[in-house]
Structure 1
């Protein structure tokens, strides 16, 4: 039985990069041939303008003075430690822009429709976007940067540029995000298996493997 596994995430969510790394490892342990893995869109803040906003100012408005020992400082320290274990070099102090991520999700959606060796390019596109934002501190709301990322993951830049200038995918992407919100997804990452079972958060690899084993076994073990 093939398990349809969806990861609902946003590409500016550090927990989501951890989640992607961990679920990728879990899939390899469980058996990649038994999983159809797909990325699904979720904007943590769709109100951000297309040109983005200053990152430090945005985080200050959200969490308060980030120079003090507040919730964000504690979370950042925890993330940096967790990132080291997954070879993720979080350096939040150097991020200049908090972008609007809608166009980044469009890249993932287009990549999702392409495959290599039977595997969708969607997860590869998400990984490239996480890397660009958190490691290289690129503005992943910028069209030129997104075109470069698209080319890196195997998409044709000229085709992607043409798609950006059209709007045929905008409503379907908005509807897709709304679908997961209506399912009750309010935080990311959220993993949904076979449209029935869900687990939320950047779970440890062992927990994700157990989740997949329980889905495979089916009721009443779930």
Structure 2
């Protein structure tokens, strides 16, 4: 729950989703142009595109997508080449031929832990880069511990995370909430629980929704006391 008087933007995302990383960059571009960015609080939520993935199956990303979507291997490769080029135009490096296809559930548990330490955005960013650029296996406990340490989490806390099932309930709650909201794909952005934006939209679209939602949110906020002046004594002794 937010402890600050800010309007919340909630983002449902899966770290193995190429459009989620692109959407993050485009939303950040909108925030950089938004004059009231300081009035916005961002919260990341977990979502799994494929909770049935068995880690260590050996398929590369193209083979996995070919089987899952029922398309030729070459078509899967072409699709990913296109999204790689788009990502590159935003300064992102996608090495999808090196991507390790694995179940993202434990990585989402890491994100939930990071959120408790106000490091949710840092965790998302680091995990995206680990998957899309560095070809790291985010189902490997040692990898998760190393990535968590990089963003500032303590090793003892991380070791406890990977050796148990802490924050699993929070991941499942996020997924259930997405279903209740009608989320069918990610990224999915929710502004003040009033407006939803599906997909990695252009920065201009995000900026438009930010202006609208924050403008409406501000109208609902207390503007301070309306004071009727009268005779008073001040700290300087004037009465």
Pairwise same-fold verdict (TM > 0.5): yes
1:111 corresponds to 2:114: yes
Closer, same or farther: CA 215–59 of 1 in aligned 2, 3 Å: same
Aligned mates of 2:111, 2:89 — CA distance in 1? 26
After superposition, the CA RMSD in angstroms is 1.8
Match of 1:209 in 2: 207
- Report how far residue 53 of structure 1 moved: 4.7
8 Å CA contact 2:113–2:167 kept in 1: the answer is: no
- Report how far residue 151 of structure 1 moved: 0.6
Secondary structure at 2:73 match in 1: coil
Match of 2:41 in 1: 36
Q: How does 1:64-213 map to 2 (within 5 A)?
A: 64-67=71-74, 70=75, 72-95=76-99, 97-115=100-118, 121-213=119-211
Structure 1 unaligned spans of 5+: 116-120
Structure 2 unaligned spans of 5+: 218-239
Aligned mates of 2:114, 2:166 — CA distance in 1? 16
8 Å CA contact 1:147–1:157 kept in 2: the answer is: yes
Say which structure is richer in strand: 1
Most deviating of 125-134 and 155-164: 155-164
TM-score by length of 2: 0.82
8 Å CA contact 1:51–1:100 kept in 2: the answer is: no
- Report how far residue 176 of structure 1 moved: 2.0
The one of the two structures with greater contact order (alpha-carbon pairs below 8 A, sep at least 6) is 1
Q: Greater Rg, structure 1 or structure 2?
A: 2
Aligned mates of 2:144, 2:44 — CA distance in 1? 17
Of residues 27, 33, 40, the one that matches 2:31 is: 27
1:14 corresponds to 2:21: no
Secondary structure at 1:137 match in 2: coil
- What CA deviation, in whole Å up to 9, does each residue of 1:143-163 have, x standing for no partner? 111111101111112211112
TM-score by length of 1: 0.88
- Report how far residue 114 of structure 1 moved: 1.2
- Report how far residue 50 of structure 1 moved: 4.3
Match of 2:231 in 1: none
8 Å CA contact 1:53–1:99 kept in 2: the answer is: no
Most deviating of 46-55 and 124-133: 46-55
